[in-house]
Copies of this chain bind each other. A is one copy, B any other.
Amino acid sequence: MARTGRPREFDRDRAIDAAMALFWSQGYEPTSLTQLKSCMGNISPASFYAAFGSKEALFREVVQHYLATYGQVMAPLGDESLAPRDAIERTLRGSAAMQSARAHPCGCLIVAGASNCSPENEPVQALLAKERQRTRAGFRACVKRAIASGELRDCPATEVLPDIFTTFLHGMTCEARDGVRSENLEAAITSLLTLWDASAVVPGTGKHPKNF
């Protein structure tokens, strides 16, 4: 059953897509209402506020849309049907490819979407910080799972793996924006993962790998 009232004359989903591109490349605060209305097809302020409520509310919707689409490169991290190492590798490689793709702004919206904020917009910063915290927890859980399953030894070198992966992941935003190529990030990830292998238990031996 269709809704009553005059129908909207612009495509709300496409508008959110366009707003995402703006917020993604410029960040929350520098993106003005004028730019937003313009990228939605020069809609009026009345149309904007009727549809989205406020700039902040739109941003929150954009973040949700991002997490449901581009942000899904992080999905393997929480997929317990994957082997922990595989989950981490897929996450890092997927994120590297996504962040350096040319079809959209470089880097990660969750990392850079509100990195410059005046005090009054701290809630917006907190929204993204909370998501990053989820990522950190994801890496930690993955490593913990690998230790529990006997894939990783329980040693100091293993404990730092989550911080290494998280820091590298977040650093890719800066690199991708600065023009570092996808292949370079991929190669770096390959090398990074040898740190995992160095703490891995070789099946059967219960010890660390010999050729390393």
List residues of chain A with CB under 8 Å of any chain B CB: 26-32, 111-112, 114-119, 121, 129, 132-133, 136, 156-157, 159-161, 163-164, 166-175, 178, 180, 184-185, 187-188, 190-192, 194-195, 198, 212
Contact = CB atoms under 8 A, between A and B. Distances in A.
Given A26-B117, A164-B188, 4 more contacts: A32-B118, A167-B174, A168-B168, A168-B171
Nearest to A29: B30
Q: Which secondary structure dominates chain A's binding surface?
A: helix
Contacts of A30: 29, 116-118, 121
Counting chain B CB atoms within 10 Å of each CB, the highest count among A115, A136, A163 belongs to: A163
Contacts of A212: 198, 212
A120 B191 CA distance: 39
A136 B171 CA distance: 13
